[in-house]
């Protein structure tokens, strides 16, 4: 069990985790005119693998049999997580804003619930269903820019649709990752192996891309951006997530991911100068409320209900609730 000081340190570090995750779309959007999408994704994950390799070599040797036995699953995860959710997202960012991308991409946990319900028959409570509907409504507001007539005119941004497809791919990635055989492989070696598989899927497309349009990064500024993508949005974000799960548990750690749209939208405005419109604010509110309602762990929800009950009881002069045992 974590000590109080360890928990406090974990909470502070976990505040940086969604910041690191959000930096991916913002940095990639800033570099999109200089480095083409497949090459940018390839370099990001190749550098990440190079950083991880010294730390995971013993684990790779010890789990070589398990890794080979799950080869096709790892290849699929590399395609979903690094090809679609890497190069695919970077391509889409050339057609839309990082603000839109952040808000749409954040809904992937909601899509996990829908896939589990309709593909695997997992029950979905009314509260979580309401959250799913709210989150999807928020995405619709963002994609349609608050204008329902855009749907009738089929006036939709291809980049927004690409980000939505990537969110669906990330939901699929999350479900494949839950496989029991993969769970038997230690986390860090598994992550490095998936990243390496992603590099393998990206390599031929990057070679073709460079041959056709060029775009190999040739300045220090671009390489700093690539290093930032690898260090922060890949290795750093993942490591902080794993640290949080170890110290304060998965339920509390996952709640910090609700800061993703806040950080992402804020950085898009600050560093990219993207305008924040009314449909963004409405969409973000719907997505955030929907995400919390759909995915918040039951113990967190119970604690929040107790806190609200205490506040209401105090304001109305009633007795405070009894403390939990």
Specify the pLDDT at position 117.
Answer: 86
Identify which of 298, 305, 301, 269 has the alpha carbon closest to the alpha carbon of residue 284. Answer: 269
What does the radius of gyration of the chain's CA atoms come to, in whole angstroms?
Answer: 21
Q: Is the dihedral of CA 36, 46, 78, 206 positive or negative?
A: positive
Alpha carbon 2 to its chain centroid, in Å, reads 26
Q: What is the pTM of this model?
A: 0.85
278-295 and 108-120 are packed helices; what angle lies between their axes, rounded to 10 degrees?
A: 50
Alpha carbon 112 to its chain centroid, in Å, reads 12
Average pLDDT, the chain: 86
Specify the pLDDT at position 299.
Answer: 60
| Dihedral angle computed from the Cα positions of residues 245, 101, 282 and 241, in that order, rounded to the nearest 10 degrees | 10
Interacting residues of 10 by C-beta distance below 8 A, sequence separation 6+: 2, 243, 244, 247, 248
Identify which of 177, 199, 202, 201 has the alpha carbon closest to the alpha carbon of residue 187. Answer: 177
Q: Residues 49, 195: contact at Cβ < 8 Å?
A: yes
The residue to which tokens 């955030």 are assigned: 288
Q: What is the DSSP letter of 96?
A: S
Rounded CA-CA distance 303/298 in Å is 9
| Dihedral angle computed from the Cα positions of residues 286, 291, 292 and 298, in that order, rounded to the nearest 10 degrees | 150
Phi then psi dihedrals of residue 63, to 5 deg: -115, 20
Alpha carbon 7 to its chain centroid, in Å, reads 23
Helical H segments across 126-248, by residue range: 126-143, 149-152, 158-176, 180-183, 187-213, 220-228, 237-248
Identify which of 111, 163, 171, 168 has the alpha carbon closest to the alpha carbon of residue 135. Answer: 111
Identify which of 72, 40, 294, 77 has the alpha carbon closest to the alpha carbon of residue 171. Answer: 77
Residues of the chain with pLDDT under 50: 314-325
Specify the pLDDT at position 25.
Answer: 94
Buried b (16+ CB within 10 A) or exposed e, 18-56: bbbbbbbbbbbbbbbeebbbbbbbbbbbbbbbebbeeeb
Specify the pLDDT at position 318.
Answer: 42
């Amino acid at each position: 069990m974590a000590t109080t000081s360890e928990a406090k340190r974990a909470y502070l570090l976990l505040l940086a985790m969604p910041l690191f995750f959000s930096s991916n779309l913002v940095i990639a959007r800033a570099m999109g005119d200089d480095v083409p999408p497949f090459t940018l994704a390839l370099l990001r994950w190749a550098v990440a693998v190079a950083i991880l390799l010294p730390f995971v070599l013993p684990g790779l040797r010890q789990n070589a049999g398990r890794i080979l036995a799950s080869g096709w699953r790892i290849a699929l995860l590399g395609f979903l997580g690094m090809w679609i959710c890497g190069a695919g997202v970077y391509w889409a960012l050339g057609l839309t804003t990082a603000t839109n991308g952040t808000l749409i991409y954040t809904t992937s946990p909601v899509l996990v619930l829908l896939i589990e319900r309709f593909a695997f028959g997992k029950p979905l409570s009314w509260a979580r269903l309401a959250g799913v509907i709210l989150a999807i409504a928020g995405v619709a507001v963002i994609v349609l820019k608050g204008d329902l007539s855009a749907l009738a005119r089929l006036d939709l941004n291809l980049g927004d649709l690409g980000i939505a497809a990537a969110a669906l791919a990330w939901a699929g990635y999350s479900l494949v990752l839950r496989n029991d055989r993969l769970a038997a492989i230690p986390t860090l070696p598994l992550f490095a192996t998936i990243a390496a598989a992603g590099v393998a899927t990206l390599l031929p497309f990057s070679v073709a891309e460079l041959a056709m349009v060029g775009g190999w990064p040739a300045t220090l500024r671009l390489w700093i951006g690539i290093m930032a993508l690898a260090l922060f949005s890949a290795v750093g974000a993942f490591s902080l997530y794993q640290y949080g799960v170890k110290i304060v548990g998965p339920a509390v750690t996952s709640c910090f991911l609700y800061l993703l749209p806040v950080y992402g939208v804020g950085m898009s405005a600050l560093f990219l100068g993207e305008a924040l419109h009314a449909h963004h604010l409405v969409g973000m509110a719907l997505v955030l409320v929907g995400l919390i309602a759909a995915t918040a762990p039951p113990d967190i929800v119970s604690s929040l209900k107790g806190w609200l009950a205490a506040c209401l009881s105090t304001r109305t002069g009633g007795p405070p609730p009894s403390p939990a045992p």
